[in-house]
Structure 1
């Protein structure tokens, strides 16, 4: 008999594994979606042609899933989205037409709207172009739903400035707008979803009326996963005690509520079965339908996030399976849930809530039995069985998600196990009490208040326990970043240990049950595939963590080709990589999307860390792309020269740095920042912050990069400042200015300061890199926006390279010398 490549019971698991692997493959390879689509189509055609050959058919099917996953990922990228709204980031005031795609979220005293964009106009509405993508819009207001504001399903018109996504944005968000002008053009949306969202807000208002604060805010978060302003003081305590999942959108809540409803309906079904056969009773299907509707409704009420969707799908499969005569398999249902969610939005795989839910579920399924055996002696205690189950499940979930929670919350909680044991068993009670308050209030407000006072002692207990645990000395310690090596090593070691323990358990079982019977080869093969599949999923799940790149034998400086769509090349973003793998990004250009592509092509897809980020001038051409970088990457150090009179963009830059607790350093002349072996950044300017009408140019950073075999002088925007160049010549000797490469920012339609001639004479460069600060949208690549200006000359012949003409310029060096590559 021919061996089966994948056992039938694990076919969906294998398909899910290859689909997810394809999505991760797509994140590694920067290829057009059409390439993956053609490959997937060819694999599918061959699969149909070779259908009679079982193994070949299976291999081609799995290859199809791999390529289809890569195609779906590449299709979802903003850069590959036709007419992407991300290309307008950094443009002047825009008008945007779109539809509110989700329920407004309340953050402090602002409402956050998720807008699906349809059209955009950059000429004050005179003409409209097709646009696509999803943006976050922050509007004023302290209510989630208001008849005078935009709500789910409304067609809206926005007017404001488009910015990169905020740090808390979910995957798939292309851009953001802060407090634009909003006008509602019409209403729409799915009627059922509109009704459910309205019900969610109504229940939150009833709870607020029925309970005092902060207990009302706590119950709203527990039941509906809504964070109201009164909850804000409690959030740090929940984070410190490892119980943030209680007040966040959680698949565990969906599972608990589905179990409660299912048990209630089962009791009704059994009562009905006493009079007629239960097998033929229509109440069985009524029970099933009621449970599914409840799961679906609560999934939407709790925000329909990735975790809730995962639990909702698995919960519905758990209900349907026995009704159709099928055996429920946790791995199959988890795989199907992952396929459905990632097919809708493949970027969800990098969502923290999805990773926590997915890895937590895997950890509970795989690791709980081992902890239960380890804690078996505790079952002799009072309520020992329940205690062992709670502790085992909590340990399993925390061990499976430890690196992710450490990266997200940047702290390690030592009291999480104790806090979860005291609070998690009451989660079902909180959900039931919350429903009683809400439903009672819908019937009669005083009845809801009566139920609220019934719930108050439990809420007081939860708040008190969390406060005491958070205030315990040593409850948690801060961890700014987890080492990439530790994160990967942790999951690889965990997967290896699981396989070893599983084999040891199987060997023990065989010795105890040895009767001469043999285990079938298909069973052993199924077990091995399951083990390897689980290990692969766990390792792939760590893609959210950071990983330092491998060392190379060369130092490189890349003047990146970045800029908004429909414009010529720009190089205000400078990427430096040392021979040991350290990375530095200097400035970010006007367009976050093109900068992201440029970085992705130079970094491994799993690396989410940059060693140093430098802002040389607080101008849009320098800072816009960096706003996205400092939100999406782990930055070890952020450097700029400060600003005497901060503009709005610079204020946002500093606010993000503070919110993310990024290490920040304000530098001036004489500061030296070591990067790697033999590599350092020398700050040559400013000596101090200068007040004046041109202070943004005057206070721009001038950086000299020392590296083996090459010195690079980055004059940048300061090349346009007579004040800065004169001060540089007066304060520094010629030896500090000598450089092989000099980079300047050339301003269109302006001449260069006279002092630049003397600086270049002292620098005596072999190559001069000129990058334009901005270009008009109607200019195209191939035009020459800088050539009309008088180029600075040196006393000796010097190669002049304009990135507006050449695109990305990369300079590599080692101890033997350096060379220029035009990419």
Structure 2
């Protein structure tokens, strides 16, 4: 009975959206291509065979339309296979960069495809390479290079340039659950990157000719300059809304918008394009209906829809035809096209068509968060809104005793809330998956924020940026109006994000948990209408509860000590997971320059991936940014109970982060006794006293040994060989450990031969950034480890390194070699 009802519901959905199975099959083919990486010719052959088989079956009338689904699957497989690294052409520039990802000093010529201003006065260029000069050889090449330049280069799309820079293969930090930078670039067709520390290293050889891309960039740049010159309070946000350039949006605004559920307003998406289309459609409809002649001669509603296409294209041009804007425009075109063809009711079909077109043009979009969120929001609104309205009407929420005006206002407000609630319910699991945040207050905030942006800030900002090209005063007035609306949204988001339970920070949900959440939402709205809903709802809730119970029991029953040395660039951070579920974060520094928070962007995602929402201990080995810059975020976000450090002042804003928290700050060192945590003994050898006066801050690093049963791990911070000599003299055999965290990132001034002999480790872990300017780890240090027979693992090459022991057995894994990504 239950299976028959589910089958009928599925059949009704397929009849309402016959393109949906095709879109799903096409997407499945794209995903499969990434998973199995078929050869290009293999994929093309499979596509051709499936096409011929389907055509033969359909022509003979022996098969249902479903026979074409393998064709769409194979088409997706072939489309994605063309962009995979294995199938790059022989002259692709990636073929001439070292396979180990090391630098290759060259001079490269090519055509600028796109120019994107970034934070910290950096410009990102996408350059289609044409010629390569290196090793005394000139080569004709193809392929896109991502070139980051320090400063403004004054280039536009279409310009031919020559630049001198070291070419590199993109490389991930390689932490489980971390951002897959390599794949993010690969699905944009980029397999080589370069960095120029000065615009003087980039020479324009010739200007490009007229092109749509160049025109769009010029429009975008002029609009951005007008907004910058208008003296707006929220210029960065207005610029993000109008042009899609978000590099000037303050971090605190971005954070508040994300926590209040309004972050989608900062990125050009289907919502923005839809709002532009709706606003100008209403304006056009109003103007057209002023003329009786036009009303008699035209279908004014369809004419207004056509007229709205112009502002949509202008808006996309203002964003430089960025990929999200392109996707949004395709979705809008599908919906408008369906309306013009009197297929406006076939919304699922329009959404499926939009997905097919987007994935056909850009198959890598299948992995983009913006793609997931845009389609999830639209599908949720289309599916949930009528059902939520029906539930409200059935409950008698609209009272007939109310006056007509108040009833109308209540109805409009209710409809607005339901739209916001439907979109939030559709995207909550995905924001949890991609951003580990669930903005519970989002439906309420968006009731006000979306109208303010859609009917005030966005049209006024777009009109002001266009008008400013012709009249400075008119443009400034309109941009000022947009700024007022944006200010209201920013203040609302800031206020809402500070309310209790405004948002939840969650660990990364599994695919099964996401499916169960969506299943539960569907069951809730179908509860009164479908017999299958109650048992399926109970099953979804039971699976979610079982996942949480299994996680809790696994943590409580765990009897292993696990230490993971994370790959954080040029810095250090480690996660210690004690038996019984106690967690400790040792340092949280590193990253890629000032303003980069390694705690927020590297350490926290790894913790959430490990399903860790609370940290019991934090350790600051010594007060330097490459060890402590990310700890404030960890303290604020994970409820740290105790902070251990070597005495003296803290750094990196830790004092402010600790203020108002119950965390206890404990100086530790050689003068304190050992600390026991669930059978693991922590012994401290350095610093020698709590007095921080004088000396090198590195030499006051906390030296800490973890012993569990017969196995031990030694943390050394950034101590020098001077401290190592003293520790060998004072502690001697007590230093012996199975795993040594090499001091000072493998510096030649640390890890002396005498110290290595005293510790006698089987493994040494070096935490260093890829191609760092210090040359860590130094060659002499590596030779000393090799002479002592110590196996060295490096986070810059091996990714995260994990040590697991039950007190007897010792297992060491590295993320890249063990394929744990």
Settle same-fold status: TM greater than 0.5.
Answer: yes
Q: CA shift at 1:185, angstroms?
A: 1.9
Q: Select which of 378, 386, 394 maps to 2:420.
A: 394
- Corresponding position: 1:180 with 2:220: no
Kept in 1, the 8 Å contact 2:146–2:194? The answer is: yes
2:711 match: 710
SS at match of 1:150: coil
User: Residues 198-228 of structure 1: CA distance to partner in whole angstroms, max 9, x if unpaired?
Assistant: 123333444566x652276665444334458
Q: Select which of 163, 181, 186 maps to 1:157.
A: 163
Q: Select which of 353, 374, 377 maps to 2:370.
A: 353
1:428 match: 455
Kept in 2, the 8 Å contact 1:90–1:590? The answer is: no
User: Unaligned 5+ residue runs, structure 2?
Assistant: 1-7, 186-191, 545-550, 593-601, 773-778
1:105 match: 117
Kept in 1, the 8 Å contact 2:236–2:249? The answer is: yes
CA distance in 1, matches of 2:184, 2:757: 49
Q: Select which of 255, 275, 278 maps to 1:259.
A: 278
Kept in 2, the 8 Å contact 1:555–1:578? The answer is: yes
Relative to 1, partners in 2 of residues 1:729 and 1:752: Cα closer, same or farther, differing over 3 Å? closer
Q: CA shift at 1:618, angstroms?
A: 12
Kept in 2, the 8 Å contact 1:83–1:131? The answer is: no
Kept in 1, the 8 Å contact 2:441–2:503? The answer is: no
Q: Select which of 501, 505, 523 maps to 1:481.
A: 505
SS at match of 1:732: helix
Q: CA shift at 1:393, angstroms?
A: 1.0
**Structure 1 segment 597-608 matched on structure 2, within 5 A:** none
- Corresponding position: 1:48 with 2:49: no
2:776 match: none
1:725 match: 724
- What TM-score do you get using the length of structure 1 for normalisation? 0.64
**Structure 1 segment 355-374 matched on structure 2, within 5 A:** 355-374=372-391
Kept in 2, the 8 Å contact 1:136–1:177? The answer is: yes
Q: CA shift at 1:34, angstroms?
A: 3.1
**Structure 1 segment 193-212 matched on structure 2, within 5 A:** 193-206=213-226
Tell which deviates more after alignment, 703-712 or 583-592. 583-592
SS at match of 1:118: strand
CA distance in 2, matches of 1:189, 1:349: 33
CA distance in 2, matches of 1:58, 1:819: 50
Q: Select which of 493, 497, 504 maps to 2:521.
A: 497
CA distance in 2, matches of 1:349, 1:131: 25
CA distance in 1, matches of 2:618, 2:419: 41
SS at match of 1:372: helix
SS at match of 2:154: coil
- Corresponding position: 1:115 with 2:126: yes
Kept in 1, the 8 Å contact 2:30–2:363? The answer is: yes
CA distance in 2, matches of 1:111, 1:771: 30
CA distance in 1, matches of 2:116, 2:771: 36
SS at match of 2:204: strand
User: Residues 540-569 of structure 1: CA distance to partner in whole angstroms, max 9, x if unpaired?
Assistant: xxxxxxx999889895879999999xxxxx
Q: CA shift at 1:664, angstroms?
A: 14
Relative to 1, partners in 2 of residues 1:756 and 1:94: Cα closer, same or farther, differing over 3 Å? farther
Kept in 2, the 8 Å contact 1:679–1:706? The answer is: yes
- What TM-score do you get using the length of structure 2 for normalisation? 0.64
Kept in 2, the 8 Å contact 1:768–1:801? The answer is: yes
1:135 match: 146
Q: CA shift at 1:310, angstroms?
A: 3.2
Relative to 1, partners in 2 of residues 1:72 and 1:506: Cα closer, same or farther, differing over 3 Å? farther
Q: CA shift at 1:295, angstroms?
A: 2.7
Relative to 1, partners in 2 of residues 1:792 and 1:704: Cα closer, same or farther, differing over 3 Å? farther
Relative to 1, partners in 2 of residues 1:776 and 1:324: Cα closer, same or farther, differing over 3 Å? closer
Q: Select which of 384, 405, 410 maps to 1:384.
A: 410
Kept in 1, the 8 Å contact 2:50–2:71? The answer is: no
- Corresponding position: 1:34 with 2:38: yes
1:595 match: none
Kept in 2, the 8 Å contact 1:556–1:577? The answer is: yes
Relative to 1, partners in 2 of residues 1:440 and 1:494: Cα closer, same or farther, differing over 3 Å? same
SS at match of 1:394: helix
Q: CA RMSD in A?
A: 6.7
CA distance in 1, matches of 2:710, 2:763: 17
Q: CA shift at 1:313, angstroms?
A: 0.8
Q: CA shift at 1:316, angstroms?
A: 0.9
SS at match of 1:137: strand
Kept in 2, the 8 Å contact 1:584–1:613? The answer is: yes
Relative to 1, partners in 2 of residues 1:710 and 1:14: Cα closer, same or farther, differing over 3 Å? farther
- Corresponding position: 1:15 with 2:27: no
Count of residue pairs the alignment pairs up: 723
Tell which deviates more after alignment, 114-123 or 344-353. 114-123
Relative to 1, partners in 2 of residues 1:54 and 1:397: Cα closer, same or farther, differing over 3 Å? same
